[in-house]
């Protein structure tokens, strides 16, 4: 009886403790945006990338990675990025985003985030100005 009462009290106490809040896809993407803005090498953003993208980067000769990252940085010149809509999908999330391009014109994009091993990863982005 004493054991059952103790187990019941423990279960009650544990259920009263709030679960650690998991990041939303929007929060994950904004964290990625901040890391991307600061990154000097592609290795700094690999933890955010989907496995297939990481594999592609790692298959690129080390000498060419810097050039590849420079091109990615040049093409991804958006500022004031905001997530307009977050939609759950079978494999993760799709984000509809808005931003300002380098010409100070509005741009819209779609971001695909997948869940791999319980973690969110960036699979791809597409933008239209």
Give the mean pLDDT of 101-124.
96
Instruction: State residue 12's pLDDT score.
Output: 42
User: Where along the chain do its domains lie?
Assistant: 22-128
Instruction: State residue 76's pLDDT score.
Output: 87
**What whole-number distance in Å separates Cα of residue 18 and Cα of residue 84?**
28
Is pLDDT above 70 for 51?
yes
**What whole-number distance in Å separates Cα of residue 129 and Cα of residue 123?**
21
Is pLDDT above 80 for 19?
no
| CATH architecture designation of domain 22-128 | Roll (3.10)
Tell me the pTM.
0.80
Counting residues of the chain whose pLDDT is more than 90, the rounded percentage is: 73
- Backbone phi, psi, residue 95, to 5°: -110, 130
């Amino acid at each position: 009886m004493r054991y059952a009462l103790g187990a019941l009290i423990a279960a009650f106490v544990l259920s009263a403790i709030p679960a650690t809040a998991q990041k939303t896809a929007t929060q994950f993407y904004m964290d990625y945006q901040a890391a991307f803005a600061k990154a000097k090498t592609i290795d700094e953003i690999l933890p955010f990338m989907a496995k297939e993208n990481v594999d592609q980067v790692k298959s690129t000769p080390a000498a060419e990675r810097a050039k590849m990252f420079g091109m990615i940085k040049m093409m991804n010149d958006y500022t004031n990025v905001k997530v307009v809509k977050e939609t759950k999908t079978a494999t993760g999330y799709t984000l509809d985003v808005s931003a300002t391009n380098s010409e100070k014109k509005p741009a819209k994009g779609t971001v695909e985030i997948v869940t791999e091993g319980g973690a969110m990863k960036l699979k791809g982005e597409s933008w239209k100005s």
